[in-house]
Amino acid sequence: MGENAGWELPEEGSPEEERLAEMFGSLLGADGHEVLRELRAHGADLASLAAQAGLPADAASLEAMVGQVRRMLAESGDAPVNWSVAHDVARQAAVQGGDPSIGEGRARVAAEALSVAELWLDAVTDLPPAGAPARVWSRSEWVEATLPTWREVTEPVATSMSNAFAEALRGELPEDLGALPRVPGMPGAATPELLLRQLGSAVFGLQVGQGAGALAREVFGTTDIGLPLLPTPATVLVPANVDAFAEGQSVPVEEVRLFLALREAAHVRLYAHVTWLRSHVLALVADYARGVSIDLAALEDAFRAVDISDPQAIQQAITSDVFAPQVTPAQEHALLRLETVLALVEGWVDEVVAAAAAAHLPQTVALREMIRRRRAAGGPGERAFASLVGLELRPRRSREAAALFAHVFTSGGAAAREAVWDHPDLLPTAADLDDPAGFLARREAARDADAEIDRALEDLLRGAEPGEEDGRET
């Protein structure tokens, strides 16, 4: 029996022929029975044709594959991301290499580490605990809990790219193409533009799923990339990834676990009490998304070179950088602001965690450097999202931000350090990261200038000359 032995043409009038005719009709938009008659008349060897095309080894498997494609297109609708695909792909990617269940003992150890971390942080920061529950998750549980936030992060970009993609290709489609044959499972006839949007939706679903699944195998909690991935505060550890990171390190696993618990708890405190921070970061992502465009020529070149009989080549083309948006000057500005905010988050956490760990963990300096190198290098998950939306959720300048917070702490203590987060308009800029030591002087000068403007306005309102002393008795 050959590899595609299940491809014999069925007898005329049999239920198998009806099923195969329907499948050919779905695939080709033609009369499936006529297709089968032509194949019989020419003595076609379906097994050989299927093998050359890289199709499944039997008609039943192909029918299942076609059904899955129809389901993907039908479920996409007008959504910029097919979240059914994203969910399924993320779950599959998360468990590659295993997803061990969390026993009671392992869960207790991780929860205790998060509890100890909160006590140590109380001694070094004025920000109180978030009052959030401690969670211990498997990789699959991490995917389920964080996908809603990936939706918030990626949909603005996906929407803009979907519109840009459809707009760019609209002029390339023949004007008289009209409606395409109805695809079973989809309402009505499909227009070329609708199919393009649904294809883009499925592609984004695939990429988001791959990125989230890859991250599920890398992250220690829910704040590793700087964004809070839960809609409500909660501290989380993923023991499988914590243990994998600790393997081969010169630092005992207990110290690694406590250090990572400190980082998770510090991130959660910051986002819980700086209430505008999460929305501010997501707004910067939306600012970036508004100017999305794509390189249509590069897209055409990439797919022209693809061997359509090679499923792996097609998947590589879909997930390659050719789908990445082209960055405009306005987007570069939004990216700079986003990277600066993420660097500030990481810098604050770095400083606070180092202070909390120093009195308890002998390997604090080594642990701090290990995390810095890991964040600087990034991982497959981060690279997947960078390819998808052009956003590298990586704090490039976290060392400079940590130096800025260290300088503020030296000058005014923990209260001054935490006051940096008082208002988004008062956040340090990229220029402040260039000169952390001069940040406080510049902020004081700005306050003096604002005070001078306020005094001038007050003088105008009471009819006095600017700078004139108020002669009223006190």
Task: Name the nearest CA neighbour of 88 among 136, 143, 142, 137.
Answer: 143
Report H helices in 392-438.
Answer: 398-419, 430-434
Residues in CB range of 306: below 8 A, 6 or more apart? 313, 314, 317
Q: Which helix (H) or strand (E) holds 161?
A: helix 139-170
Instruction: Determine whether 221 is exposed, middle or buried from the number of CB atoms within 10 Å of its CB (0-12, 13-18, 19+).
Output: buried
Cβ-based neighbour number of residue 15 at 10 Å:
9
Element (H, E) at 199: helix 192-216
CA angle, 94 as apex, 200 and 398 as ends, to 5°? 85
CB neighbours of residue 64 within 10 Å: 11
State the pLDDT at residue 398. Answer: 87
Q: Tokens 């130096």 belong to which residue?
A: 403
Cα-based distances in Å from 178 to 24, 70, 175, 190, 439: 21, 20, 7, 9, 61
Provide the pLDDT for residue 56.
46
3-state class percentages of the chain: helix first, strand second, coil last, to nearest 5 = 65, 5, 30
Task: State the pLDDT at residue 164.
Answer: 66
d(CA 165, CA 385): 18
| DSSP, res 130 | -
pLDDT of residue 244: 92
Q: Give the total residue count for the chain.
A: 474
- Please list, in sequence order, all residues whose beta carbon lies within 8 angstroms of the beta carbon of residue 129, skipping any fewer than 6 positions away: 118, 121, 122, 265, 269
pLDDT, residue 120, reads 98
Other residues' Cβ atoms within 10 Å of the Cβ of residue 41 = 8
- Which residues are CB-contacts of 135 (< 8 A; sequence separation ≥ 6)? 234, 235, 236, 237
Give dist(CA 308, CA 314) in Å, integer.
6
Q: How far apart are CA 292 and CA 158, in angstroms?
A: 9
Q: Give, in order, the Cα–Cα distances in Å from 65 to each of 46, 107, 187, 192, 468.
A: 17, 40, 20, 22, 82
The beta-strand segments (E) located in 50-175 are 134-136
- Count Cβ atoms within 10 A of the Cβ of residue 52 and give its class: 0-12 exposed, 13-18 middle, 19 or more buried: exposed
State the pLDDT at residue 201: 77
Instruction: State the Cα–Cα distance between residues 157 and 166, nearest whole angstrom.
Output: 14
Task: Write down the pLDDT at residue 454.
Answer: 67
Q: Is 43 helix (H, G, I), strand (E, B) or coil?
A: coil
Handedness of CA 246, 249, 253, 254 (dihedral sign): negative
Radius of gyration of the chain (CA): 29
With a cut of 50, list the residues of the chain below it in pLDDT.
1-6, 27-29, 49-57, 62, 65, 176-189, 308, 472-474
